[in-house]
Amino acid sequence: MKKVTVVGGGLAGCEAAWQAAMRGAKVTLYEMKPKKYSEAHKESGLAELVCSNSLRSNDPGTAPGLLKEEMRMLGSLLMDAAEAAKVPAGSALAVDREVFSDYVTSAIEANDNITIIRDELTDIPAGEGTVTVIATGPLTSDSFAQSIGRLIGEDYLYFYDAIAPIVDADSIGFDIAFRAARYGKGDDDYINCPMDEETYYGFVEALVNAEQLKTKHFEKEIFFEGCMPIEVMAGRGKDTLSFGPMKPVGLEDPRTGKCAFAVIQLRQENKSASMYNIVGFQTRMTYPEQRRVFRMIPGLENAEFLRLGSMHRNTYINSPTHLSATLQMKERPDILFAGQITGVEGYIESAATGILAGINAAKVAEGRTAVSPPELTGLGGLVKHVTDADVKHFQPMHINFGLLPPVERMKGRRMKKSEKRAMAARRSIEAMKAWVKAGF
Ligand SMILES: Cc1cc2nc3c(=O)[nH]c(=O)nc-3n(C[C@H](O)[C@H](O)[C@H](O)COP(=O)(O)OP(=O)(O)OC[C@H]3O[C@@H](n4cnc5c(N)ncnc54)[C@H](O)[C@@H]3O)c2cc1C
């Protein structure tokens, strides 16, 4: 059996090391703390929660709750730690972050199959004798990031995300929004939300005055990267957007037969066309402000946001180009990626992909075939998205119901959103149960 090397002792790396070790693999886990800290990490323990102490909803009828339930079925170390560290937080699962990190650190230290090396790894391990899981997170050290860049090509490694909101396709008002290609060239791939002059200037005003998140000190340079937040662009002049991302030319509104004063375009996000992103609307507005301001857009008054916009310092790779649904590199199946660096977003999403990478690292070390969870499961939907999304417009994603195959309509009646979600969640749990029972 080959050895397994896990790089990064964060949420994904700890799960990966644990899962591989529990399957008999000899694991070496590299963690650069406390010798070296990223800009956000402050504590020496493993599995540090760098910001919020909430792992989001614990209700299995919600997407984050569903993913957690699946993680428990897969024997998640972090879910055990969360149970031991939980603090009262209503329907959310929030933890005492010190107790959480101590629990994970002690479990990993006590595992005879895991050796921890508290040092920065600057190069990806080479050679026949090891399977490597890269889980160095959104703030991967510079030298290791360079090594990843050499492995996959600089163009496929990103250091910032600039995320535009994603809307549930079912919640778009097609009495106003219309499908059309600019100048009628090509297919009607875009959904267009037209604005008259008065609505446009009101919208610009709302954007400029909306409350924004503060930029962290290590994120300043983001504005030099050519990914301008929509509210900053709006602040440059009241007509800037109508000549930029909201330009209406070549888009005739079928209701009036004319071009509107401005148009907001939505582009299909996933293959099943259940999610659409608002093109060019990366933003630093707070979440409540995004909901308020973006619902001013004609056609999006009742929009359900599956993901809201954000802009962060974030190291991640173009996973659809490089990874298969087992989280192995297509070109180098002895190298797996896990956590935020794959383009998943969030604590539990990172940990969940760590579980899959750990299971597969052990399989690959034993010379067995790696697996991928059923697409009906939350984890399967998440992994499918990051490994199968549109290569050109790939952006990080957190767990949401839009990633799961649509629920069949009930005969003879329209189902409520809550019913659809409850049904999708039940279907996912059953699929995960069956997968676990079959031994993957
Ligand atoms: C500032 C900030 C705030 C965030 N807040 C939240 C939040 O509130 N809620 C949420 O759900 N998500 C949040 N995230 C997003 C993300 O979910 C977390 O960052 C999560 O910890 C990612 O898990 P990970 O295992 O991929 O990376 P990490 O948990 O960051 O783990 C990576 C580990 O690798 C180590 N490492 C890096 N390079 C090397 C190297 N070369 N050699 C050895 N070790 C190395 C690091 O020290 C770190 O311990 C935040 C991200 C950032 C950057």
Index of the ligand 1 atom closest to the CA of residue 141: 38
pLDDT at site 312: 85
Q: With a 6 A CB cut-off, is 339 part of the ligand 1 pocket?
A: yes
Cα–Cα distance measured from residue 222 to residue 160, given in angstroms and rounded to the nearest whole number = 7
Sign of CA dihedral 417, 189, 199, 395: positive
Percent of the chain with pLDDT over 90: 84
H helix intervals, 6-130: 11-22, 63-73, 77-85, 97-110
How many other C-beta atoms can be found within 10 angstroms of the C-beta atom of residue 420? 19
Ligand 1 binding pocket includes 429 (Cβ within 6 Å): no
Counting atoms of ligand 1 from 1, which one is nearest the CA of 312?
53
What confidence category does residue 288 fall into, taking pLDDT thresholds of 50, 70 and 90?
very high
> Which residues does residue 324 pair with via DSSP β-bridges, in sequence order?
none
pLDDT above 50 (res 262): yes
Rg value, the chain, Cα: 22
- pLDDT score for 418: 86
Average pLDDT over all residues of the chain: 93
Condensed to tens digits (0 to 9), the pLDDT of residues 360-417 reads 999 999 999 999 999 999 999 999 999 999 998 898 999 999 999 988 765 667 788 8
Query: Are the beta carbons of 361 and 330 closer than 8 angstroms?
Result: no
Is the CB of residue 28 below 6 angstroms from any atom belonging to ligand 1?
no
Q: How far is CA 389 from the centre of its chain?
A: 12
**pLDDT of 169 higher than 70:** yes
Q: Which CATH superfamily is 3-161+312-437 part of?
A: FAD/NAD(P)-binding domain (3.50.50.60)
Contact 396/314 with Cβ under 8 angstroms? yes
**What's the confidence (pLDDT) of residue 219?**
67
Report the sign of the C-alpha dihedral through residues 384, 385, 387, 389, in that order: positive
* Residue 63 scores a pLDDT above 70: yes
Ligand 1 site, residue 229, Cβ cutoff 6 A: no
The class (CATH top level) of 166-308 is mainly beta
Pocket test for ligand 1, best of 97, 100, 123, 136 (most atoms within 8 A of CB): 136
pLDDT class of 165 with cuts at 50, 70, 90: very high
Question: Can you give the residue ranges of every domain in the chain?
Answer: 3-161+312-437, 166-308
| Number of the ligand 1 atom closest to the C-alpha atom of 12 | 25
- The reply to whether ligand 1 has any atom less than 6 angstroms from the CB of 302 is no
Distance between CA atoms of residues 89 and 386, nearest Å: 30
Q: How confident is the model at residue 224 (pLDDT cuts 50, 70, 90)?
A: very low
Of the pLDDT bands very low, low, confident and very high (cuts 50, 70, 90), residue 102 is very high
Q: Give the integer Cα–Cα distance in Å for 36 and 205.
A: 44
Most confident of 116-130, 177-191, 217-231, 361-375: 361-375
Q: Are 182 and 247 in contact (CB under 8 A)?
A: no
* Angle at which helices 63-73 and 378-388 cross, to 10°: 110
pLDDT score recorded for residue 223: 54
What is the token pair recorded at 63? 């997407």
Could you identify the atom of ligand 1 that is nearest to the CA of residue 338? Answer: 26
- Asked which of 203-217, 339-353, 426-440 is least confident by mean pLDDT, the reply is 203-217
In the prediction, which pLDDT does 414 show?
75
Is residue 294 pLDDT above 90, yes or no? yes
- pLDDT > 50? residue 431: yes
Q: Is the CB of 141 under 6 A from ligand 1?
A: yes
Mean pLDDT, rounded, for 58-67:
95
Supply the pLDDT for residue 351: 98
C-beta of 145 in contact with ligand 1 (< 6 A): no
pLDDT at 218: 65
What integer is the mean pLDDT of 424-438?
A: 97
What are the E-state strand segments in 164-210?
166-168, 178-179, 191-195
Q: How far is the CA of 10 from the centre of ligand 1 (A)?
A: 6
- Residues 321-334 have a mean pLDDT of 97
